[in-house]
Structure 1
């Protein structure tokens, strides 16, 4: 017996190749997005740990020291977001830390502890420009009971410079990557719809409306985009979990909220790009003449 020819269904183009192509494209975007999350979290942690060291004069009373502390806490440049905005570090604690790190007790041959009591002031990231940091330093040095103010100037300039450069590089790569992904998905969908071109023309000849022809293709494209986004999310989740177990320090840079937003964005991007690419591909065949179809 002869096998019956399989009837083509409107919008029923093969989807495996389309799903694989969209998945690969989304996975590349996801890896790049994960890199952005880690770089932003690294910058955030570096900025959260930028502190100004305020050394106090010797022989201050407890009341005078607390007055300085309360004044520091009231400053608008102090970062109270994570941990203590102002932390006291006594000269005894400083001596113990130095002895523990070096193994040498300098107080035995000096006869006294020459170190100073100090406050570590966590500076809000909004005040990390060079001019603002210099102004803060100058204002703190004018306070009664303050001996010296110090911060790592090179670190601030390096962070600000690198963040600016990284921002431009990432924006350029994002634009280039999105264009490449859109073209890749669009070409894949166009090839997949090629086998449906005569069926589309047949529907036109029997009087089917443009939207009636487009609808099954767009619904299937949305389904493929959703499936590809889900597969990509699972792959990216598995890769991130594996990397964190292998590299323990990587877990410190993992922001779960931003990561979930990235996965959700990948699903949406998959659906939107698939639908838009299908829409323009179908319209191309709808406008073709019969000779062009061949």
Structure 2
């Protein structure tokens, strides 16, 4: 008999609240945001790889000694704008003999046969870090490199880099625009879900108000519940994203090149925070609304 009474009291206290429906709806909305966030992360990584695949050719003075070549390579590798791969500076030495072989292989013409000499110069090929690949910054880098002792000339395909930067900028603006619209729609969706869930609690709120409960006392259980629902929904959405990523990486090996674990974990944390904040604010607004309504407006 006592157990039945306690269950009855608990039911009256909590009301008929669709907890599972709210968590499911918020989790689904956050999962959609997470999917688009993953798209942005992988697109950003792809953009960096494209930018870092472009090389800047540093042609050297003739007759440099081995000591001078080594010193020059160390100088170039120490520059902050040089790209790194697995803690290795992307500075590659190309002798004039290698350059001649590559030219002959591409054109099929042996220019050394009728010139009688190899007019090419030894060179270093530098890959520039993605965050230093802007057109204006590359010009500054070119002037700086040409001022180093032993460097004859620096060349890069400026038109190609400008075209890549312009296209990447346009694509980024489109993706950011879609992301902003998506976040706005999801916020409205979560807000309406919480409001609909609290609609079934409007008479319970009024009953508590009629017996003299303060606004803070009435709001606290609903805000606590909404906060935990947001956290739980964020965790569920993050878990689904993680499983989806692992499946995608298993099916498409090349996709691993675009992964960025640090940004992905930050995205998952952001989903939890977003779910918590939106759930809290939506619940706060809804409860405040029902507290201000008259009894006739509740029907």
Match of 1:18 among 22, 30, 44: 22
Pair 1:130-2:135 in alignment: yes
Out of 35, 43, 49, which is 2:53 matched to? 49
CA distance in 1, matches of 2:79, 2:180: 41
Give the CA deviation at 1:93: 4.3
Equivalent residues of 1:50, 1:123 under 8 A apart: yes
Q: Please report the RMSD computed on the Cα atoms of aligned residues, expressed in angstroms.
A: 3.3
**How far apart, CA to CA, are the structure 1 residues paired with 2:72 and 2:124?**
9
C-alpha separation between the residues in 1 aligned to 2:194 and 2:71?
Answer: 70
Unaligned runs of at least 5 residues, structure 1: none
How many pairs are equivalent?
A: 291
Q: Say whether 1:220 aligns with 2:225.
A: yes
CA distance in 1 between partners of 2:26 and 2:158 (Å): 47
In structure 2, the CA distance between the partners of 1:132 and 1:190, relative to structure 1 (3 Å rule), is closer
Once the two structures are TM-superposed, the CA of residue 270 in structure 1 deviates from its matched residue by 1.0
Give the conservation status (yes or no) of the 8 Å contact 1:53–1:118.
yes
What does residue range 1-294 of structure 1 map to in structure 2 within 5 Å? 7-10=11-14, 13-56=17-60, 58-66=62-70, 68-69=72-73, 72-73=76-77, 77-79=81-83, 82-94=87-99, 116-137=121-142, 140=145, 146=151, 148-294=153-299
1:228–1:68 distance in 2 versus 1, CA, 3 Å: closer
TM-score norm. by structure 1 comes to 0.83
Deviation track 1:80-103 (CA, whole Å, cap 9, x = no partner) reads 68522533122444566678x77x
* Distance (whole Å) between structure 2 residues aligned to residue 145 and residue 219 of structure 1: 68
TM-score scaled by structure 2?
0.82
Q: Point out where structure 2 has 5 or more consecutive residues left out of the alignment.
A: none
